[in-house]
Amino acid sequence: MSVLVFVEGLNGEIKKSSLEAASYGNQVAKALGTSATAVAIGDVKEEALTQLGAQGISKVLFDGEQRLKQFVADAYVKVIAAAVQKEDAKVVVFSNSNIGASVGAKLAVRLNASLATNVTTLPKTEGAGFTVTRGVFSGKAFADVALTSDIKIVAIKKNSFDISSEGTGAATVESFSAGLTDADFALLPKETVMQDTSGGVLLQEAEVVVSGGRGLKGPENWHLIEDLAKELGAATACSKPVSDMDWRPHHEHVGQTGTTISPNLYIAVGISGAIQHLAGVNSSKVIVVINKDSEAPFFKAADYGIVGDAFEVVPKLIEAAKALDK
């Protein structure tokens, strides 16, 4: 038996969340007295994959088929299922990304496996059991779930596990094919449009997020958020009314009905802190709130707070951030 980790790429590099998954997989393998192998698909270079050695992965199965650079669920599932079989994997680790959660669910059906998404702990494996903790009720609680099938699939919450660098040596990359046919690519996207990630920071993967709410008064003031984000190497986000009014695109909207994030640092500017907003950001490690109303509910969930006018406070933060040595 072994542990298999699914590795996603973006622009040729391994996604940060996949490095977390690799580190997690290696730890699970050690606890079970076995080793972890990775399977990689998509937009990632072979050289990048060899670096998974640092996360304790010695072998990477890589299907370099061109069409896999785009996400085609059926093709992905087929490749991963074949890798599970080849490696006799009993635990499969994904990042809880759009792709990871999608493929994980299909794979669970195909392999008759148990699945837990949004996982926040390593498994407890005493007495041949396998219990993980997962985030539930939109960040308001955790649940311990026992996975009862022979094969267990976990999709781990982003930014919840450290990336280890204890491994030595490069991982060997083996080319791997599951015999994909045209039929597996029936759902190849007609068109893929990537956002302008000139800042280079993907919201779901970001360690620092600067977010603006209705308190910023209008889209013309967003340079405050963007400039601060730029200085801090952060991604930008917003509250729901801000995207509803089209001040910002919908994919930036965080909260109960938007994206859920868990960065190391979340800076909320002019956001009141409604419970539905908190649901999407409450597992951020450090929360900073800037609001002119000292009674704003967000302060109750904050680690640091400034009561003041965003239009005066944020420029001071940008100045201070510029002075940091990077």
Ligand X SMILES: Cc1cc2nc3c(=O)[nH]c(=O)nc-3n(C[C@H](O)[C@H](O)[C@H](O)COP(=O)(O)OP(=O)(O)OC[C@H]3O[C@@H](n4cnc5c(N)ncnc54)[C@H](O)[C@@H]3O)c2cc1C
Structural contact between residues 305 and 290, judged by C-beta atoms closer than 8 angstroms: yes
How many whole angstroms separate alpha carbon 169 and alpha carbon 164? Answer: 14
Considering only the stretches 27-35, 85-93, 106-114, 169-177, report the one whose residues sit in contact with another protein under the rule CB under 8 A.
106-114
Query: Which residue lies nearer to another protein by CB, 29 or 209?
Result: 209
Considering only the stretches 2-10, 56-64, 132-140, 251-259, report the one whose residues sit in contact with ligand X under the rule CB under 6 A.
251-259
What is the Cβ-side half-sphere exposure of residue 169, based on CA atoms within 13 angstroms?
Answer: 7
Residue 3 site contact among another protein, ligand X, none (CB < 5 to 8 Å, cut-off depends on kind): none
Q: Could you tell me the smallest distance in angstroms from the CB atom of residue 196 to ligand X?
A: 23
Sequence-separated (6 or more) residues with CB below 8 Å from residue 323: none
Tell me, residue by residue from 270 to 309, as one string, x for binding to another protein by CB under 8 A and - for no binding.
-----xx--x--xx-xxxxx---------xxxxxxxxxxx
- According to the binding rule CB under 8 A, does residue 97 interact with another protein? yes
Tell me, residue by residue from 285 to 304, as one string, x for binding to ligand X by CB under 6 A and - for no binding.
------xxx--x--------
Quote the DSSP letter at residue 163.
P
- According to the binding rule CB under 6 A, does residue 256 interact with ligand X? yes
The SS3 assignment for 53 reads: helix
- DSSP state letters, 251-307: GGBBSTTSB----SEEEEES----HHHHHHHTT-SEEEEEES-TT-GGGGG-SEEEE
Q: Residue from 25, 135, 212, 213 that binds another protein (CB under 8 A)? A: 135
- According to the binding rule CB under 8 A, does residue 67 interact with another protein? no
Residue 262 site contact among another protein, ligand X, none (CB < 5 to 8 Å, cut-off depends on kind): none
How many whole angstroms separate alpha carbon 191 and alpha carbon 13? Answer: 22
Sequence-separated (6 or more) residues with CB below 8 Å from residue 264: 159, 207, 208, 284, 285, 286
Question: Measuring CA to CA, which residue among 126, 132, 127, 178 is closest to residue 152?
Answer: 132
Q: Residue from 22, 265, 270, 311 that binds another protein (CB under 8 A)? A: 265
Query: Which residue lies nearer to ligand X by CB, 26 or 282?
Result: 282
Query: How many residues comprise the chain?
Result: 326
Q: Could you tell me the smallest distance in angstroms from the CB atom of residue 130 to another protein?
A: 10
- According to the binding rule CB under 8 A, does residue 99 interact with another protein? yes
| Phi, psi for residue 317 in degrees, rounded to 5 | -65, -40
* Residue ranges in 206-225 that form contacts with ligand X under rule CB under 6 A: 213-215
Q: Could you tell me the smallest distance in angstroms from the CB atom of residue 140 to another protein?
A: 4
The SS3 assignment for 232 reads: helix
How many whole angstroms separate alpha carbon 40 and alpha carbon 79? Answer: 9
- According to the binding rule CB under 8 A, does residue 245 interact with another protein? no
Considering only the stretches 121-129, 140-148, 268-276, 317-325, report the one whose residues sit in contact with ligand X under the rule CB under 6 A.
268-276
Look at the block and give the residue holding tokens 């079989």: 85
Tell me, residue by residue from 304 to 323, as one string, x for binding to another protein by CB under 8 A and - for no binding.
xxxxxx--xx--xx-xxx-x
Q: Residue from 98, 165, 172, 276 that binds ligand X (CB under 6 A)? A: 276
Residue 89 site contact among ligand X, another protein, none (CB < 5 to 8 Å, cut-off depends on kind): none
- According to the binding rule CB under 8 A, does residue 105 interact with another protein? yes
Query: Which residue lies nearer to ligand X by CB, 15 or 158?
Result: 158
| Phi, psi for residue 297 in degrees, rounded to 5 | -60, -25
Question: Measuring CA to CA, which residue among 109, 67, 80 is closest to residue 21?
Answer: 80
Residues that bind ligand X (CB under 6 A): 213-215, 239-242, 253, 255-258, 270-272, 274, 276-277, 280, 291-293, 296, 309-311
